[in-house]
Chain A
Amino acid sequence: MFSNPVLQKEMRQRFRTFRTPLAISLYLLIIGGLYLGYLYLRWHDMPGYYQPGRGRDLFLTLSMVQLIMLAFVTPGLTSGAISAERERQTLNVLLVTKLTPMEIVAGKMISSCSFMLLLLLSTLPLYSIIIIYGGFSPGQMMGGLGFYLITVLLFGSVGMACSAFFQKTGSSTVAAYGIVCTIMAGTALLAGFIYEVGRVPGPGPDRIPLAVQLLLDLNPVLVMLRILGENAGIGQGRDLALPYWGIYTVFCLLASAALLAWSAARLRPSATRAGITWRQ
């Protein structure tokens, strides 16, 4: 994997410029500022007073802020991967080498995900503050980290596919944010709508439609809250054999694999003949 020339070049370019430490600093500043601001608001009127439940609140807050940041940064990292090569007029010379389209896509994807992983790891000191207060288990923390990794993979793949489809990076970025926004909020809204439409008034527990269960399992916000032990969902009962995190993981992996394979197919010479390209 590390012998991929595209990956080596991307890493070299990414970590050579001052923009990388600047991006890490900004990321930490925003996420740390929000977190520490929240911490101050919760404690400033009750000094010396300790409540174990507050540690849990902090953990949830930090995790939510992290997820929102991740949804902003990851598509932005990959939505220009291919389209920027087109705009810079470097794609053609790359395509006439012996590199396969999948190697090009994989090199760029791994490079972007590595950077995102670095951003996630750089927030560990903030988590260490929460550990002082307690209120969550190490398993939940590891589950949260695993959740972030597969979410980065999904959002990164969405950005990569948009980048392969659109000619301009601007269009690609807007489309990638639109799709990520739909995944983050649209799935929950649609689940709520389907549930309300199909709900039968009366006594007894509600029957949750399978589509609603699936949509809830695909929503990153709700999945993360459930990993962290919150009761985030609609009603009780479950018809699916896989647990919610299993459904989410399978969805992320399959969708990412399909999007990356499609992105690579877009780079093949016959793609412009067989497919559609959005020229804006």
Chain B
Amino acid sequence: MISAKGLIKRFGQTVALDGLSLEVEGGSVFGLIGPNGAGKTTALSILATLQPPDGGAALVGGRDVAGDTAGVRGLMGYMPDFFGVYDGLTVYEYLDFFAGAYRLPGAGRGRLIGELLELVNLGGKKDSYVDLLSRGMKQRLALARCLVHDPGVLILDEPASGLDPGARAEMKEIVRQLGRMGKTVLISSHILPELAEICHRVAIMENGRVTVSGTVDEVTAASSGARLIFIEILEDAGGLAGILGQRRGVCLAGSGGRWIKLFFSGSKEEQGMLLRDIMAGGYTVTQFHEVRRNLEEAYMAVTGEGDGRVQ
């Protein structure tokens, strides 16, 4: 549904996108993750037809974002990271204006707007002035605006930024519901655990290109060649930690009285041999298992933003 190949965008000497490529399947929720300045907003604004790329090509719903802007706009809803609202308009008038801007017929707009407001939990705010709404409500209203022409594709740039936890949870649930409705959603965010919950696939961006892409599990695995392994023994762990620390492919992550955490970069066979050697050394192993890393740790490992980077 969304396809970008080798997108390049420069602002003067700054390269915002450096050959960005990504594929978003129809009906899926796709998360775009990356540090500030990675090029997420630039990529989304190009896909939303707001600026042309300097190189490469992108298709939304099979239409070229640079050549067929009107066609793309008809089947896409876009929510920018920062946006304002108009003073002196009620919630109903605001959505009615955008319904007109998408050339929807006047008849039936009232019912449509009512349904959209129910979807985003603003049913009781129909006659409120938009500039008086809270930030969370404005974000949800913006989402309703994106949906006014029933687009198949939604491009949401940091839709939950600046929201309190309750409002974020509400936004997450709405996005999840849009996914269930069959919409193709491309969403960028910094709130990684929430993205991990709602996205079918994610991509991590850095320096204007996608570094890792796939399902949350795939990205988590691909973010590091090493697996985090937890070992519990009946004996004192200090001696074993010293031995394992010398072993090739092992990097100690921590140890306590009777437990050790380590990163192991070998194959599954070598992992089995590691367990066998520990037991052969006379240690009684009560636990030996991989610890599943979350998306946030994977992101830190890929972008090098935290201590989770595994050499």
Which residues of chain B from 34 to 55 have any CB-CB distance to chain A below 8 Å in the complex?
45, 48-52, 54
Most buried by B among A6, A89, A96, A270: A96
Asked if A99 meets B52 with Cβ closer than 8 Å, knowing A12-B88, A13-B87, A88-B84, the reply is no
Assembly CA distance A90 to B87 (angstroms): 11
- What 9 pairs across the A-B complex have the smallest Cβ distances? A5-B100, A97-B101, A88-B84, A89-B84, A13-B88, A96-B78, A9-B97, A90-B84, A5-B101
With a cutoff of 8 Å between Cβ atoms, the chain B residues found around residue A93 in the complex are 78-80, 83, 98, 142, 145
Assembly CA distance A9 to B85 (angstroms): 12
Q: Mark B75-93, 1 if CB is under 8 A from A, else 0.
A: 0101110111111110001
Q: Mark A4-45, 1 if CB is under 8 A from B, else 0.
A: 011011001100110000000000000000000000000000
With a cutoff of 8 Å between Cβ atoms, the chain A residues found around residue B288 in the complex are none
Q: Is the CB of A90 within 8 A of B97?
A: no
Q: Is the CB of A92 within 8 A of B80?
A: yes
Assembly CA distance A272 to B69 (angstroms): 16
Taking the closest CB of chain A, its distance from the CB of B235, in whole angstroms, is: 63
Interface size class of A (residues with CB under 8 A): 20 to 34
- Asked whether B191 is an interface residue with its Cβ less than 8 Å from the other chain, the reply is no
- Asked whether B256 is an interface residue with its Cβ less than 8 Å from the other chain, the reply is no
Which residues of chain B from 134 to 154 have any CB-CB distance to chain A below 8 Å in the complex?
142, 145, 149
User: Inter-chain contact count A-B, CB under 8 Å?
Assistant: 75
Q: Is the CB of A269 within 8 A of B97?
A: no
Q: Mark A236-278, 1 if CB is under 8 A from B, else 0.
A: 0000000000000000000000000000000001101100000
Q: Mark A93-104, 1 if CB is under 8 A from B, else 0.
A: 111111100000
Which residues of chain B from 72 to 121 have any CB-CB distance to chain A below 8 Å in the complex?
73-74, 76, 78-80, 82-89, 93, 97-98, 100-103
Asked if A92 meets B83 with Cβ closer than 8 Å, knowing A12-B88, A98-B70, A98-B103, the reply is yes
Taking the closest CB of chain A, its distance from the CB of B65, in whole angstroms, is: 9
With a cutoff of 8 Å between Cβ atoms, the chain B residues found around residue A16 in the complex are 88
- Closest B residue by C-beta to A86: B84
Q: Mark B166-184, 1 if CB is under 8 A from A, else 0.
A: 0000000000000000000
Q: Is the CB of B86 within 8 A of A13?
A: yes
With a cutoff of 8 Å between Cβ atoms, the chain B residues found around residue A3 in the complex are 100
- Closest A residue by C-beta to B79: A93
- Closest B residue by C-beta to A3: B100
Which residues of chain A from 79 to 95 have any CB-CB distance to chain B below 8 Å in the complex?
88-90, 92-95
Most buried by B among A13, A95, A269, A272: A269
Asked if A98 meets B73 with Cβ closer than 8 Å, knowing A13-B89, A269-B49, the reply is yes
Q: Is the CB of B50 within 8 A of A269?
A: yes
Q: Is the CB of A92 within 8 A of B100?
A: no
Asked if A95 meets B50 with Cβ closer than 8 Å, knowing A89-B82, A89-B84, A90-B83, the reply is yes
Taking the closest CB of chain A, its distance from the CB of B78, in whole angstroms, is: 5
Taking the closest CB of chain B, its distance from the CB of A104, in whole angstroms, is: 9
Q: Is the CB of A96 within 8 A of B70?
A: no
With a cutoff of 8 Å between Cβ atoms, the chain A residues found around residue B88 in the complex are 12-13, 16-17
Could you pull out 18 A-B pairs where Cβ atoms are within 8 angstroms? A9-B97, A12-B89, A13-B88, A16-B88, A17-B87, A17-B88, A89-B83, A90-B84, A90-B86, A92-B48, A93-B98, A93-B145, A96-B49, A96-B50, A97-B98, A269-B50, A269-B69, A273-B51
Assembly CA distance A234 to B115 (angstroms): 69
Assembly CA distance A95 to B98 (angstroms): 11
Taking the closest CB of chain B, its distance from the CB of A90, in whole angstroms, is: 5
Most buried by B among A3, A6, A92: A92
- A9 contact from B50, B51, B79, B86, Cβ within 8 A: B86
With a cutoff of 8 Å between Cβ atoms, the chain B residues found around residue A90 in the complex are 83-86
With a cutoff of 8 Å between Cβ atoms, the chain B residues found around residue A99 in the complex are 101
Q: Is the CB of B52 within 8 A of A273?
A: yes
With a cutoff of 8 Å between Cβ atoms, the chain A residues found around residue B93 in the complex are 9, 12
- Closest B residue by C-beta to A88: B84
Given A5-B101, A9-B86, 7 other A-B contacts at CB below 8 A? A3-B100, A9-B89, A88-B86, A92-B48, A93-B98, A98-B74, A99-B101
Assembly CA distance A260 to B239 (angstroms): 80
Q: Is the CB of B101 within 8 A of A94?
A: yes
Assembly CA distance A13 to B74 (angstroms): 26
- Closest B residue by C-beta to A268: B69
With a cutoff of 8 Å between Cβ atoms, the chain B residues found around residue A272 in the complex are 51
Q: Is the CB of B73 within 8 A of A97?
A: yes
Assembly CA distance A93 to B146 (angstroms): 9
Assembly CA distance A8 to B101 (angstroms): 11
